[in-house]
Structure 1
Amino acid sequence: MTDKQIKDQAAIREIFTCWSAAARNKDLGGVMALYSDDICSYDAVGPLQFSGREDYRAHWERCMAFDDEFIMEPQEPIIRVSGHLAVARFLIRCGMRKKDGTEQASWMRSSYHLEKQGGEWRIAHEHFSVPFDFENGAAQFGLQP
């Protein structure tokens, strides 16, 4: 791996550190600063697709309207970099914690396509998913890594 790839991987790791901290702190500006203008997201929460900054910002605003605390606990990302493009993947524990301490959270899968734009890495595509049972179609929220 080249020195440039090592530096790019470190910069991308920092994006995910900032992303999870901003989400937990309900810092909408901090979250949105990490996305490209033409972000496409396949979030675990419907609709099927969010297209563009305005669409995804409105989704994040709805998510942050709850009084509950966000749970955003990503595992260490696996990152591949080639030129101005990168992909990353990791498991992440996501959900909400109520004021009484009860949680509604599960492990999910996440993958990312990032692009270097104007010398800065930005998230251009993200995909979250929850596995489901093939036989009955039920989401498998209880799986552990």
Structure 2
Amino acid sequence: MTTAKQAKDIDAIMALYSDDICSYDAVGTLQINGARDYRAHWQRCMPEKDDVIIDMQSPVIRVSGHLGVARFLIRCGLCKDDGTEQASWMRASYHLEKKDGAWRIFHEHFSVPFDFENGAAQFGLHP
């Protein structure tokens, strides 16, 4: 997936998802339902002139039958034309389902921790 994201290959990214994907992304709306709306979300998150930053740690995966769960830390963001980065580490989880012999992501959740005292997002954390 990291290669597809860095190449901004929306078709390759969407091939990983179920048609009834529900995403709780850290960017934008509270939740995104369905492949059509999630494709549009990805298109908004992939500006043409900026490079995409994706640094995903190896996931911890649990599988039982046709269901699986993966959790990992991921550094996401953009590198601007002037070399400045807008990226941070986040927590992520995928809920997977195997249908017709292929695994697809049917739910994902990305989140940024926040400071309970002041409510500020903790963008500067590192694994």
TM surpasses 0.5: yes
Find the partner of 2:7 among 12, 15, 25. Answer: 25
The TM-score, its normalising length taken from structure 1, stands at 0.86
Residue 60 of structure 1 is matched in structure 2 by 42
Shift of 1:26: 0.3
Decide which structure has greater strand share.
Answer: 2
1:3-44 C-alpha deviation (Å, 9 max, x unpaired):
xxxxxxxxxxxxxxxx11111110000000000000000000
Shift of 1:99: 2.0
* Identity value in percent: 72
1:75-105 C-alpha deviation (Å, 9 max, x unpaired):
0100000010000000001000112221111
The TM-score, its normalising length taken from structure 2, stands at 0.97
Structure 1 residues 90-105: aligned runs within 5 Å: 90-105=72-87
Shift of 1:117: 1.1
Q: Structure 1 regions of 5+ residues with no counterpart? A: 1-18
Q: Structure 2 regions of 5+ residues with no counterpart? A: none
- Count of paired positions: 127
Decide which structure has greater helix share.
Answer: 1
> Structure 1: which 4+ aligned runs deviate by more than 6 Å?
none
Find the partner of 1:106 among 76, 88, 98. Answer: 88
